[in-house]
Structure 1
Amino acid sequence: MRRDLVLRVASKFILPPIMLFALYVQFHGDYGPGGGFQAGVIAAAAIILYGLVNGLARAQKMVPQALLEVLMPSGVLIYAAVGVAGLMTGENYLGYDHLAHDAVHGQEWGVFLVEAGVFLTVFSSMIAIFYAFAGRRRS
């Protein structure tokens, strides 16, 4: 793979704002459009851009496959745990009212935790798909 200086420099400038925008979308998802899925795709796109510009091996050093294998089920477990916590407190599955001292804070915590679980799963899944396709040998 040929290393293009312009692409490498431009990607170094654009990657931090992309990740910052992913965090904004993640935390603003409670109040407007956005949330875990969109933020996960945006953050994964930043890592994928890094991998396309600098090579798969360098991207895998930044986000190793072993980490992805832990993050994917962790996000699903967080999502399910929030639902089970609602059941255990007398609510419906994913009923958030009893997750805090009052219903409003319970809703905030419930949505935050569910969106964090979705973020982890989408982020790690998208990168794992990229690694799978980028790691294939041409025949």
Structure 2
Amino acid sequence: MELAIRCPYTPAEWQQYYYLRWLILRAPLGQSLGTEQDELEDSAWHLAAFYGEEVIAIGRLQANSEAIGQIRYMAVKEKYQRQGIGHRLLTALEQIARQQGMSQMVLNARETAVPFYVTANYSLLGEGPLLFGQIKHTIMSKLLG
């Protein structure tokens, strides 16, 4: 099977997409199902990495302004990490941002994800928000060429 990176289409694919987001990013913090979604879902661009019919990685791009996009909710299933899938997903989200006329990307990276974004040429800007009072973030940025 080949890896495909695209937007979820069917209700079942969307269910997998949001469930994976909750499973990786919210459940370990004791957050209930439903906390993985916010008020910007309908105005954002969503991508998932599919291995066959299985969603194995997810990410979202939102427009903070005409020029600035923000990457949110990036996650890769543990057994698929360190295989380049996250970088492929990030590159695809950056491409969408370029197509929308954005010239800069920003994100809040969990401490454990900072090295991943550094390898993708993101720069550290400073301390970011503390998620649910327990997960430190670093604000990072990248100019799109």
TM over 0.5: no
More contact order relative to length (CA 8 Å, sep ≥ 6): 1
Question: Which has the larger share of strand?
Answer: 2
Alignment TM-score, normalising by the size of structure 2: 0.29
Q: Which has the higher helix share?
A: 1
> Whose Rg is larger?
1
Query: Structure 1-normalised TM-score?
Result: 0.29
